[in-house]
Amino acid sequence: MTNPTPDEQVSELEELAMHRAKIAEETKNLDTLRKEYDEKIAALAGEGTTQAGPYKISVTRARRLDAKKIEAAYPVAQHPEIYKRAVDTDAFKKTVAENNREPYTTLGSPTVRIS
């Protein structure tokens, strides 16, 4: 097998980018449609579990604690037991030279953007 020429590479990249752009658009449209259906289902079924033919539909609402409200009602000075120390990565970046940060860095998945 021979290596592709630069022109062949560009052509293959163009084709892949075109297909990826189509998939991204279809995914966006399907995600929007799914969200619309979820809103309609939640409005019709209400919270809880409902049987609809062969489907068991469960509607729940996420419950999250509001950290700002907790901080206002339970200041750290009076309630240190509910607080934790955390590494300030911004301060770390300011303190440690960039070339010394590598051992403390992890790489995520590659991000591909096509415009």
Q: What does the pLDDT look like over 24-60, one tens digit per residue?
A: 999 999 999 999 999 999 999 999 999 999 999 999 9
The predicted model gives 90-114 an average pLDDT of: 89
pLDDT value at residue 114: 73
pLDDT value at residue 113: 76
- The band of 1, judged by pLDDT with boundaries at 50, 70 and 90, is low
Q: What does the pLDDT look like over 63-90, one tens digit per residue?
A: 999 999 999 999 999 999 999 999 999 9
Helix%, strand%, coil% for the chain, nearest 5: 55, 10, 35
Taking alpha carbons only, the member of 85, 63, 66 closest to residue 76 is: 85
What residues does 57 pair with on adjacent strands?
50
What pTM value is reported for the model? 0.62
C-alpha span between 61 and 93 (Å, rounded):
38
What residues does 55 pair with on adjacent strands?
52
